[in-house]
């Protein structure tokens, strides 16, 4: 017989259970009235149909479908789209394999997030709230909030540029920024989403670029772009989001078979969803690889010849063509006609609006989980969108479109810096048997997960270093060095807890996330005395 030992106000409490109950992890740090439950999104859970003795059921897969597709929207936000088009223009098809590997890594990380939510009944922010002490928990919350706000700013920029292109410049950039305030609330009422992209490509070169991990003739520009792909695809707030969305299904967590089945179907659904998003990203890369790879500014003089109002974007020189979300739409319009420009702008607008949903949801879950704050989704999105719009609006008013699109580079760096604050905790908690019980990561997952997360963090730190060194300012170098000390110290703190969870027992001196299953008592007789 299995018992769970909990300490509450100095009293030892033994709970008998055949499986891990809802309160198997220590209670919340801050007191919240338990007799008045509050749930922002999960008042009603989706029931799962019975299908006894079936290895696979399409009815069950349909019932579990939803969280993975909503999560996959974040893989198609304006930041990802810009990374795709720049990759195609700078390296052709040669970096498609980086996009493929990044998507696979993202899928494996999303698998860990979904398993945590299914097995524990809590999302990542809630588990962090219970496992980390107060100061680290607040710092972690602030870092994740920065990631959400950074993603929100990219969506604001993308939508503003799309509206400017669709209106042929009649809606100024600052006007598009302000419009995103109102349209966000419209999308809070919607439960569906869509994306439209088109692309043309050569099959042979595409397949070679996708499955041959090599980049012939590539230099620092292509290397930086490859690093940017990884940073754009794997986003920290998406890990928190997915661990919460899986709670929307009715799963009896005391039933080991149901938990195992839920994990299986959620993984299948996530695989399908990320495969669809991967194909759309490939289409975007392929369009710009086929049309604009190795092109110079002088070669797009056709834009000037057509009487385009954007002739100043393409100077008459032999410098390599540089594109972003805005220039990309203009060039498509010059080469393939106005229809291509409008399709591009509508796609960017749809990507930004759809990604707004993921940012809103993840922000709500993060705030509730870390701080036990119960805000309405309208109040929550008003706060984050206001923070995101303020600097974007100032740049849109006082600077030009180049500065506005240039903010995406800084925002990608910001996202890269926040990655350890999602990847390390998710590996930590899914490796703890005291939390995951029989569903804790095995040795293979611990090793491979640790290597993957170390690699992703190292790649993104390289991206940050490249960006900082390009600023050419001694003051900024000193400031970056000071921030780096505090940043690395906190990452080391999280890594210490993670190593303890992975089984490095020599470090288990005063960690709050000990991997020893102390809360599990296998035999009641040990406590009979």
Report pLDDT digits (tens) over 506-522.
Answer: 777 766 665 544 333 33
What was the pLDDT predicted at 271?
Answer: 95
Query: How many other CB atoms sit within 10 Å of the CB of residue 289?
Result: 29
Q: Are 285 and 260 in contact (CB under 8 A)?
A: no
The span from the CA of 222 to the CA of 231, in Å, is: 14
DSSP secondary structure string, 306-324? TT-TTGGGS-SS-SBP---
Of 174, 148, 211, nearest in space to 388 by CA: 148
Closest to 354 in 3D by CA, of 147, 146, 110, 71? 71
Query: Backbone phi, then psi, for 486, in 5-degree steps?
Result: -65, -40
CA 16 from centroid of its chain's CA atoms? 38
What the block records as the tokens of 460 is 């993104």
Q: Residue 437's closest CA among 254, 171, 269? A: 254
Q: What is the pLDDT of residue 191?
A: 39
113/259 Cα distance (integer angstroms): 14
Say if pTM beats, i.e. exceeds, 0.95.
no
Structure tokens at 374: 């119960």
What per-residue confidence (pLDDT) applies to 263? 93
- Whether residue 418 contacts residue 143, with contact meaning beta carbons closer than 8 Å, is answered with yes
Q: Distance between CA 370 and CA 364 in Å, rounded?
A: 10
Write out residues in the chain with pLDDT < 50, as ranges.
1-40, 190-201, 516-529
- Collapsing DSSP to helix, strand or coil, 379 comes out as helix
Provide the pLDDT for residue 519.
38
> Concatenated DSSP letters for 313-376?
GS-SS-SBP---HHHHHHHHHHHH-HHHHHHHHHHHHHHHHHHHHHHHHHHHHHHHHHH-----
């Amino acid at each position: 017989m299995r018992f769970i030992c909990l300490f509450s106000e100095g009293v030892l409490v033994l709970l008998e259970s055949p499986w891990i109950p809802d309160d198997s992890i220590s209670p919340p740090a801050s007191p919240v009235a338990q007799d008045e439950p509050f749930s922002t999104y999960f008042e009603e859970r989706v029931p799962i149909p019975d299908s006894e003795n079936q290895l696979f059921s399409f009815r069950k897969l349909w019932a579990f479908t939803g969280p993975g597709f909503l999560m996959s929207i974040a893989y198609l936000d304006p930041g990802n789209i810009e990374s795709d088009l720049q990759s195609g223009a700078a390296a052709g098809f040669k970096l498609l394999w980086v996009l493929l590997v990044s998507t696979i890594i993202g899928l494996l990380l999303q698998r860990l997030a979904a398993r945590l939510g299914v097995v524990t009944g809590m999302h990542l922010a809630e588990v962090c709230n219970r496992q980390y002490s107060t100061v680290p928990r607040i710092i972690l919350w602030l870092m994740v909030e920065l990631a959400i706000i950074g993603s929100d700013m990219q969506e604001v920029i993308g939508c503003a540029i799309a509206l400017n292109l669709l209106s042929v410049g009649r809606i100024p950039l600052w006007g598009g920024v302000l419009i995103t305030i109102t349209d966000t609330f419209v999308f809070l009422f919607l439960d569906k989403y869509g994306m439209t992209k088109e692309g043309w490509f050569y099959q042979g070169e595409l397949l070679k670029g996708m499955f041959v991990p090599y980049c012939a003739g590539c230099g620092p520009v292509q290397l930086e772009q490859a690093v940017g792909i990884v940073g754009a695809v794997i986003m920290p707030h998406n890990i928190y989001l997915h661990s919460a969305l899986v709670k929307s299904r009715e799963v009896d967590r005391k039933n080991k078979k149901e938990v195992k089945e839920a994990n299986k179907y959620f993984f299948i659904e996530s695989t399908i969803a990320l495969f669809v998003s991967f194909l759309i990203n490939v289409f975007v890369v392929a369009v710009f690889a086929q049309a604009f790879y190795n092109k110079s500014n002088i070669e797009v003089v056709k834009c000037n010849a057509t009487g385009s109002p954007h002739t100043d974007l393409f100077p008459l020189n032999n410098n390599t063509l540089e594109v972003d979300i805005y220039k990309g739409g203009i060039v498509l319009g010059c080469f393939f006609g106005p229809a291509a420009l409008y399709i591009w702008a509508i796609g960017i607008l749809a990507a930004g609006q759809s990604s707004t949903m993921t940012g809103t949801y993840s922000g709500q879950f993060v705030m509730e989980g870390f701080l036990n704050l119960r805000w309405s989704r309208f109040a929550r999105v008003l706060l984050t969108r206001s923070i995101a719009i303020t600097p974007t609006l100032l740049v849109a008013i006082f600077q030009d479109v180049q500065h506005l699109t240039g903010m995406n580079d800084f925002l990608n760096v910001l996202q890269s810096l926040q990655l350890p604050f999602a990847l390390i905790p998710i590996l930590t908690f899914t490796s703890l048997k005291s939390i995951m019980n029989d569903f804790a990561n095995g040795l293979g997952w611990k090793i491979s997960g640790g290597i993957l997360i170390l690699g992703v963090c190292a790649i993104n730190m390289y991206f940050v270093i490249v960006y900082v060194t390009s600023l050419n300012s001694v003051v900024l170098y000193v400031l970056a060095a000071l921030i780096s000390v505090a940043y690395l110290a906190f990452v080391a703190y999280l890594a210490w807890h993670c190593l303890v969870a992975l089984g490095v027992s020599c470090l288990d001196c005063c960690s709050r996330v000990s991997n020893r299953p102390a809360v599990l008592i296998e035999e009641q007789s040990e406590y009979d005395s």
